[in-house]
Structure 1
Amino acid sequence: MTTDQATANPLRRSGRLHCNVFFLAAGLGIGAWASSLPLLAAGVGLNKGELGLVLLCFALGAIVLMINVGRYIDRVIGNQALSLCGSLVFGAVFLVIPFVGNPIALGGCVLLAGAAFGTLDVAMNTQASQIERETGRHLMSSFHAVFSIGNLAGAFLVGQLIGYGGDLRACLGAAGVLVMGLAVAARLIAANADHAAPAAGEDAHAADTALDASQRALIVLLGTVAFLALLAEGGMMDWTAIYMIDILGASRSHGAYAFAVFAAAMAGGRLVGDAVTRRVGHVRLVRAGGFVCALSVAILLVTDSAAVSLVALALCGFGVANMVPAVFASAGHVGGKAAGRAISIVTTMGYSGLLLGPALLGFLAQATSLVVSFVLITLAFLLIAAVTIQLDRSLRRRQARR
């Protein structure tokens, strides 16, 4: 091993470590936020439609930043600094939200939280993609596994605090402090390692190649799958606890633990995701996940047993776990020299589903019932499986032309 190689290996390990810490911080924040929504709705007196508006504020803030922040990564202040800023603001807003009783002011705070999360999400995923290119290994599922572990930790934290009589201030306050602490820890790891990676701006410029017509068609299909997958995943994350409480009559702590089961299954699925992908391929993995998730949500809709509902949630979490990592990885392969542009399109379409979906499901629940919203989630999973059939055919035709 040469001196350069020996130096590069610990730098890459430290780069993966500090990127993982940011994924953990983001996951913990989202897990705590989703699990605290029943407390937020009860504390401010929000109905399902009004809660949907709050979630829409989060979505709008995040999407606006996701669309625009990518052009500044490494060109202006770098993805590490953006990850740090996004994490710190995300955690700080959590400390403020419990003290806001005015719905309009609450919407503004949630808009800012969404903008901070959008900044963090784009920056940390850009860095994860860069690490994949540097190492030549499939690592996206493992990064997203850490995000899911963070979801689990956030939900468990809220469940424990509620179980001991904690209110919204305790739940979001503790989560906010942890998010900010993890962000600082990640930055210290990066600073100590003095990680010298190629600038993302240079790499993106080198790959600034137009997508041809067949590539664009495939990217749209992948983006459609990403939109549906993240819409359904976001719906399960944000509305599972409320479904358990309002429809099945579970306690608030049980609702938080139900979300934790879903998040734990996602984490487990992503930990084995790279190995499974090597055996069956991205498209088959997504298709199987669509059928498994549709079946599990259907079971959740017809059961009145708490035990069966937890099993269904675990099955759904395992099925949805690797959809998004597989779609992002496929977009990179389809894009080729224009991989950056391809991933950008798919990411924007996908996260639009994640951030707008829960709000739309809230409006639908207010107009009809939460059961109808979960029926829509079931249909989204079935549509994913259907779209992958056309996607598989298009990929085969493109491969045959080469």
Structure 2
Amino acid sequence: MTYSPRTYRITVSTLFFMAGLCFSSWASRIATIQQSLGLNEAGLGAVLFALPVGLMLSLPLSGWAVSKIGSRKVLAASLTLYGLMLVCLGLANSVTLLIVCLIFFGMASNAVNISVNTQAVATENLYPKPIMASFHGLWSLAGFVGAGIGTFMIGNNVATLTHFLIIGGIVLVAVGICWAFLHDDNGKSERGPAFVKPDKFLITLGAIAFCSMIIEGAMFDWSTIYFKKIVGAEKGWIGAGYTAGMCAMASGRFVADWFSHKFGLKRTLQISGLLSLSGCMIAVIFPILIPAMLGFLLIGAGISSVVPMVYSAAGKSETMQPGPAIAAVSTISFTGFLIGPPMIGFIAEASNLKISFLFLAAMAVCVIVFTTRAKI
């Protein structure tokens, strides 16, 4: 059955929000789980590595599954698994169980990412202007909501399992309601086979996202450390850079579609790189609270539109089906998200943290250069 574009948009938006709520709920209770299992920082870091392992394991499988059985079925199954694995994380009473659950949680997360973006591309094709970034904006908004719910649960001494049962239940209900209103693609596509070597266009898109994701990963993991050690912020302000960046990232995604429609994809990505470059340079040259906050605000604005714009373009590939095309670009870009934070650590150890942020500025320059040379 076919529905109106608005119905599809509301449905896909809801599931983007559920995916963000699921992940942020887990993130909000990491410290609680660390304490309950008696993990030190090194132990926690080792355990958390299970999440990207699961993500990487599922990358090729997710694209194949979307092409064979359709993004609708994959999205419903993977988001259901995502909610169930969140509950399992609340049940995990040993490090071994936690690692196993995190691997499956990561696998489900990536399958949701590929399939929901494939649904988003199909929905965007029904509109005369871009809408992809707004979907990702709802994922970011869900991050704030999930963090707020987590803070409330912790403040009221609600057990982690109870918290995760509530969120998991909401996710499962949402899947049940939205199932009938998703694009019923059944894995059928007229745009090429499921598996072919990504062409130059997709590789270039992946390279643009790779550089931007290095910046994004570093901002997530190193912003508070930068404000503590370089900016010298007081205890209550060490999270100011992270907050500024996240707020700008979420807000930027709600205006990126309008900007892209008005000025084009190439100009949008070029300006995104320029904003990230400016933010990195301000944070390095003026390591003072207010200028540094402005710098991280610009970084957040710069990285906000890159991934959704790149996914949107990949989903319109003429050589690969949308699911595998998005999976190919996601594989390249996610590698940047993984290697970014440790690279910052290595550079900081060899020199200092300010120099490492100049490396992020270089990645922003690469976003501009790759975009300028790309035929998009």
Residue 25 of structure 1 pairs with residue 18 of structure 2: yes
Match for 1:383: what amino acid? M
CA positional deviation for 1:321: 0.7
Q: Give runs of aligned pairs for residues 105-116 of structure 1, distance below 5 A.
A: 105-116=97-108
Whether contact under 8 Å (1:294, 1:379) holds in the other structure is: no
In the alignment, which of 122, 135, 138 is matched to residue 143 of structure 1?
A: 135
Whether contact under 8 Å (1:79, 1:126) holds in the other structure is: yes
CA distance, structure 2, for counterparts of residue 269 and residue 292 of structure 1: 11
In the alignment, which of 129, 132, 144 is matched to residue 152 of structure 1?
A: 144
Residue 87 of structure 1 pairs with residue 63 of structure 2: no
* Percent of aligned positions that are identical: 21
In the alignment, which of 275, 285, 299 is matched to residue 292 of structure 1?
A: 275
CA distance, structure 2, for counterparts of residue 327 and residue 293 of structure 1: 16
CA positional deviation for 1:125: 0.9
In the alignment, which of 155, 178, 181 is matched to residue 170 of structure 2?
A: 181
CA distance, structure 1, for counterparts of residue 27 and residue 368 of structure 2: 29
Residue 12 of structure 1 pairs with residue 5 of structure 2: yes
Match for 1:385: what amino acid? V
Q: Give runs of aligned pairs for residues 270-285 of structure 1, distance below 5 A.
A: 270-285=253-268
Match for 1:30: what amino acid? F
Q: Which residue of 1 aligns with 2:51?
A: 58
CA distance, structure 1, for counterparts of residue 195 and residue 53 of structure 2: 29
Q: Which moved more, 1:298-307 or 1:385-394?
A: 298-307
CA distance, structure 2, for counterparts of residue 320 and residue 135 of structure 1: 24
What secondary structure sits across from 1:395 in the alignment?
Answer: coil
Alpha-carbon RMSD: 3.8
Whether contact under 8 Å (2:217, 2:340) holds in the other structure is: yes
- Consecutive unaligned residues of structure 2, counting only runs of 5 or more, are none
Q: Which residue of 2 aligns with 1:202?
A: 188
Match for 2:187: what amino acid? G
Q: Which residue of 1 aligns with 2:375?
A: 395
The verdict on how the C-alpha distance between 1:259 and 1:160 changes in structure 2, with shifts beyond 3 A counting, is farther
Q: Which residue of 2 aligns with 1:45?
A: 39
CA distance, structure 1, for counterparts of residue 224 and residue 186 of structure 2: 39
Q: Which residue of 2 aligns with 1:400?
A: none
Which whole-Å deviations, capped at 9, do the CAs of 1:225-281 have from their partners, x for residues lacking one?
Answer: 112222322332355467667886766x97778655433322211111111113333
Structure with the largest fraction of helix? 1
Which whole-Å deviations, capped at 9, do the CAs of 1:357-381 have from their partners, x for residues lacking one?
Answer: 467369759x949974x85465245
In the alignment, which of 95, 99, 119 is matched to residue 111 of structure 2?
A: 119
Q: TM-score, normalised by structure 1?
A: 0.76
Q: Which residue of 2 aligns with 1:399?
A: none
Q: TM-score, normalised by structure 2?
A: 0.80
Match for 1:182: what amino acid? V
CA distance, structure 1, for counterparts of residue 296 and residue 30 of structure 2: 18
Q: Which residue of 1 aligns with 2:124?
A: 132
The verdict on how the C-alpha distance between 1:180 and 1:358 changes in structure 2, with shifts beyond 3 A counting, is farther
- Consecutive unaligned residues of structure 1, counting only runs of 5 or more, are 1-6, 397-402
Match for 1:144: what amino acid? H
Q: Which residue of 2 aligns with 1:190?
A: 179
Which whole-Å deviations, capped at 9, do the CAs of 1:2-34 have from their partners, x for residues lacking one?
Answer: xxxxx95x4432222221111101112333444
CA distance, structure 1, for counterparts of residue 153 and residue 240 of structure 2: 12
The verdict on how the C-alpha distance between 1:300 and 1:34 changes in structure 2, with shifts beyond 3 A counting, is farther
CA distance, structure 2, for counterparts of residue 159 and residue 306 of structure 1: 26
Q: Which residue of 2 aligns with 1:97?
A: 89
CA distance, structure 1, for counterparts of residue 225 and residue 355 of structure 2: 15
Aligned residues between the structures = 373
Q: Which moved more, 1:300-309 or 1:262-271?
A: 300-309
Q: Which residue of 1 aligns with 2:318?
A: 336
Whether contact under 8 Å (1:27, 1:151) holds in the other structure is: yes
CA distance, structure 1, for counterparts of residue 119 and residue 210 of structure 2: 22
Residue 320 of structure 1 pairs with residue 300 of structure 2: no
CA positional deviation for 1:117: 0.7
CA distance, structure 1, for counterparts of residue 103 and residue 352 of structure 2: 27
In the alignment, which of 353, 359, 374 is matched to residue 379 of structure 1?
A: 359
CA distance, structure 2, for counterparts of residue 326 and residue 39 of structure 1: 36
Match for 2:375: what amino acid? L
CA positional deviation for 1:299: 4.7
